[in-house]
Chains A and B, each alone.
Chain A
Amino acid sequence: MVDGTLSWTDFLSEAREFLHLSEQLGDGWTLCEKDGNEPNTFLSCKRKVRSKDNGTLSTLISVEYHVVFSVSYQVPMLFFQAHRSDGSLLDVDATWRAFMPEARERSDLFQMLTQMDHPVLFRPFMALHPCRTSDVLAQFGKKSENRILTFISVYGPHVQLNLQNAYGNAIKCK
């Protein structure tokens, strides 16, 4: 049984490895370092996605994704925040409609989406709750692979964060 948790130093080194892959692929991730303390370094990227909220024409929204280290759960954690073309932020309800309109209310996904204060920026952000992440990482992540990559590949698609297949190839070639 592989343990699905990461230490802070694991997180940092795998985040840097992930950043390196992203730079090779021109995928636009950056590493934000507030200072050297745990957990003040996180991965970040911005994407334009089409809101899944039907009813109106699908509109473009801008989403900022952060992969932050969760000190309490010792796993990567996905924070994100979306805004519309006029600059207004999507609240929890709007986020739900934009990203997961098809998921049922009692589904795992529904249970996972929450809002909490960003552990580095101290502003409210949407987040996917990390309570099951270590199980998931233990299940998917082989020791040789980058667990941040695994984490984003598993959790990202729920919130329209899809990584190119090239990441998988790149990590295998390494």
Chain B
Amino acid sequence: MTENILQFAAFESFVCPTFWHKLAELKIEHDRLSDAPKPISGHYTNHKAAGCLLEVDYSAYNSSAQPPKFSHNAVGTIYNKNTIEEFKELDKTSLLSAEGQALLADMTSARVLDNPSLLARFFVLSFADLKCHSYYYWFGFPCPLTHPLQLQSEAVRVKDLQNFAAVAEALRAVPSEAQNFFILYANEELESVEVRSLSAALTNIDNTEAEHYYYCFADPSEYEHPAWLMRNYVAFLLMQCPTLLGKTLKFLGLRYDQQMNVDNSLIWKVVQNDACDLTRIENVKFVGWEPNRNCKMGPRMVSMRDSMDPAKLAENSVNLNLKLMKWRLLPELNLEAIAQTKCLLFGAGTLGCAVARNLLSWGFKHITLLDSGKVGYSNPVRQNLYTHADAVMGNKMKSTTAAERLLEINPSAVAKGYVVQIPMPGHTIGEAMLEQTTNDLTLIEEQVHAHDVLFLLTDSRESRWLPTVLGAVHQKIVINAALGFDSYLVMRHGSTRECVGDQGNEIEGLKCIMGQKLGCYFCNDVTAPGNSLKDRTLDQQCTVTRPGVSNIAASYAVELLVALLQHPQRELAPAYYAQSSHKRQQVESTAAIPEGLLGILPHSIRGLLYNYENILPATEKFSQCIACSQPILASFRSEGHAFLLKAFETARYLEELTGIADFKSLHCEIIDFDDDEFDMSEGDENDSGPTTTNIDE
């Protein structure tokens, strides 16, 4: 029984992104709070049809828009609600009935005869969440519920008709704007084939002529079943010409193939035996809500953030370069680990700015900068997040300005800046400053807690002490960069995390130091004074550097972090150091260093621009280090701020604590340099006294 019932291919809504773009634009600029229903138009094609689609795009809202080539107009209404609640709570049955009744009203009037596209009917219930770029929507294709149509025989292809040639010729001659619904009169006996409009053929229908009628329509279905819109066509015909009831009716679904032939158009012979009085509108039921993707009766939601939110667009583009790197060269690259790692930068000077920009390039999103300085006139040319205007204004703080710039560069970054001074050993805190210092300490500690990586990018050795201690106590990854006139040191501090798993491999000619045994900036300096690179250059007070040095060091610092994050052991990864002093053997053993995803992972990189050379020393933790040794960490853990204040009072305290007799006062041994030395705008304003220096390079 069911085999003889004609089934229809349901319409599938197909929305072009521009439909949402235009809806958003109209809502914001024109409709605002009005949620009155608005006429829209859609279109469908019977030219190489795929699926059974009803499409809408930006032209839907333009009442005079023509459908695209090879497409036909569909008549619709959009009910765009102001809130998600109104969208949800609207009575769906009533809306469908109201739409269906409007359709029936068009059928009973002469309107459909004049404009048959009224039969291709749809409506959209929607809510546009413009803030989130989310669109909730539900399409309906209203149709009166009538008795099923009896299918008299299998569908027949037009090219199997005996008079195919004449039929095809007539079909092809129909002007495209009239192809949606028309009637083909094909009398084989009279060898007469002609095309008639609905109004010409159906007004005062001649029943003897009607036997030769093909009720033609542009059929957007690619399936064996005719498109949904034929249901309305049938309902309309029986309403318009009740005498057709019980008669065999031939429907021709016009379908063009790739070569623009009509050969595969289909003909269905159907009979409607049961009358259905559609004039008593209040009794008629309607169908037509589109099921959602899960084949349930319900609305759909689409997020258009990717194409409509400028911040998201930028984010996707940033990620794209990294994704391409992953695809092309490094399939194992873990971009997620990078995106989730939160970086805290001590210092927003030349190094801080350059490091921050390199972090953005790699797809790091969380960047926080700590600095107490203002942007000075000499800064912008070297510190690449500032401009001359920042210095002219005279009150722009580096840390907050840098964070603003990072957000301007990448709006999807999470960048913050705090104006804070980093207390230093040997820099006594006076009564007056005690409260401020305590506040600063609290803020710094909070920030250390909230981040995964600390970058030490300040302009003095002393200012690196506190972050070194905090990094060790809180088991953070610490990356340190320091500059000389034409030299630089970039290093990762040894980890204080518990070691698990792999102990590293012993390789001939190489010294292997596990990540938790590597030294920090301070142990290194004391334990490795005799280095061939004359690392004292870093310790002497340099006031100027070659400009490239900071960019090189900043790049190494970020690359070192990325390599570390990609290593399965992360900061516990061992470092290898070629022991031989013979150059040739050094080269040989260096070649044997185990490589991670991005190559080797050194402890430190010391380089000289003078001869364009780097060496990669690895050194062990010093048990009496004034920053990372057990006595220091234990004291901090038990005494907290009190311990720190004692250290700030006199560096001597640290020496006593760790037992280094010959520990030199940090105060008189500033290693780094400060290119603000020449910055007259700042020098005069520096009222913070001898207890602080600007956090800069």
- Give residues in A with beta carbon < 8 Å to B: 25-26, 28, 48-50, 60, 62, 83, 85-89, 91-93, 105, 110-111, 114-115, 124, 164, 166
Contact = CB atoms under 8 A, between A and B. Distances in A.
Contacts of A28: 47, 69-70
Contact of A60 (B15, B51, B317): B51
A60 B14 contact: yes
B51 A87 contact: no
Contact of A85 (B13, B69, B306, B317): B13
Contact of B300 (A86, A91, A114): A86
Nearest to A116: B320
Contacts, number: 69
Contact of B320 (A25, A105, A115, A166): A115
A130 to B, nearest CB: 16
Interface in B227-273: 256, 258-260
A110 B327 contact: yes
Interface of B is mostly: mixed
Name, among A49, A88, A92, A105, the residue most crowded by chain B CB atoms within 10 Å (CB to CB): A88
Nearest to B300: A86
Interface string B351-385: 00000000000000000000000000000000000
Given A83-B17, A91-B316, A25 B259 contact: yes
Contact of A87 (B15, B50, B256, B323): B15
Interface of B: 12-17, 19-20, 47, 50-51, 53, 69-70, 135, 256, 258-260, 300, 302-304, 306-307, 313, 316-317, 320, 323-324, 327-328, 331
Given A60-B51, A114-B324, A91 B331 contact: no
Contact of B302 (A87, A92, A111, A115): A87
A29 B393 CA distance: 56
A112 to B, nearest CB: 11
A83 B13 CA distance: 13
Contacts of B17: 83, 87-89
B306 A87 contact: no
Given A85-B13, A86-B15, A115-B317, 12 more contacts: A26-B260, A48-B50, A48-B53, A50-B50, A85-B53, A87-B19, A87-B304, A91-B316, A105-B327, A105-B331, A110-B328, A164-B258
A102 B462 CA distance: 58
Nearest to B306: A89
A62 B323 CA distance: 24
Nearest to A96: B327
Contacts of B53: 48, 60, 85
B307 A89 contact: yes
15 contacts: A26-B260, A48-B53, A60-B12, A85-B15, A85-B53, A86-B15, A86-B302, A87-B17, A87-B20, A87-B135, A88-B307, A91-B316, A93-B323, A105-B327, A115-B317
Contact of B313 (A83, A88, A124): A124
A110 B357 CA distance: 29
A50 B327 CA distance: 24
Q: Which 4 residue pairs spanning A and B have beta carbons closest together?
A: A86-B302, A48-B50, A87-B15, A26-B260
A64 B258 CA distance: 17
B134 to A, nearest CB: 11
A26 B313 CA distance: 36
Nearest to B15: A87
Nearest to A46: B68
A157 B303 CA distance: 30
Contact of A88 (B69, B256, B304, B317): B304
A116 to B, nearest CB: 9
A18 to B, nearest CB: 17
B19 A124 contact: no
B135 to A, nearest CB: 7
A48 B54 CA distance: 13
Contacts of A62: 14, 16
A92 B328 contact: no
A91 B317 CA distance: 10
B327 A25 contact: no
Contact of B260 (A25, A83, A111, A124): A25
A48 B51 contact: yes
Contacts of B256: 26
Most buried by B among A28, A48, A92, A164: A48
Contacts of B13: 85
Nearest to B303: A88
A115 B327 CA distance: 13
A96 to B, nearest CB: 8
A111 B327 CA distance: 8
Contacts of A85: 12-15, 53
A85 B135 CA distance: 13
A161 B307 CA distance: 23
Nearest to B321: A115
A27 to B, nearest CB: 8
A129 to B, nearest CB: 10
Contacts of A91: 306, 316
A25 B259 CA distance: 7
Contacts of B331: 105
Nearest to A166: B259
Contacts of A92: 320, 323
A87 B16 CA distance: 5
Contact of A164 (B12, B16, B259, B324): B259
A89 B67 CA distance: 23
Contacts of B306: 88-89, 91
A88 B301 CA distance: 10
Contacts of B16: 62, 83, 87
Nearest to A90: B306
B461 to A, nearest CB: 46
A107 B324 CA distance: 14
Contacts of A88: 17, 302-304, 306-307
Contacts of A86: 15, 135, 300, 302
Contacts of B320: 92, 115, 124
A106 B12 CA distance: 37
B637 to A, nearest CB: 46
A88 B302 CA distance: 7
Contacts of A49: 50
B557 to A, nearest CB: 29
A60 B323 CA distance: 26
B274 to A, nearest CB: 35
Contacts of A105: 327, 331
Contacts of A48: 50-51, 53
Contacts of B304: 87-88
Contacts of B15: 85-87
Given A86-B302, A91-B306, A164-B259, A124 B316 contact: yes
B438 to A, nearest CB: 49
A131 B226 CA distance: 47
Contacts of A26: 47, 70, 256, 260
A111 B328 contact: yes
B29 to A, nearest CB: 20
A39 to B, nearest CB: 21
Nearest to A56: B293
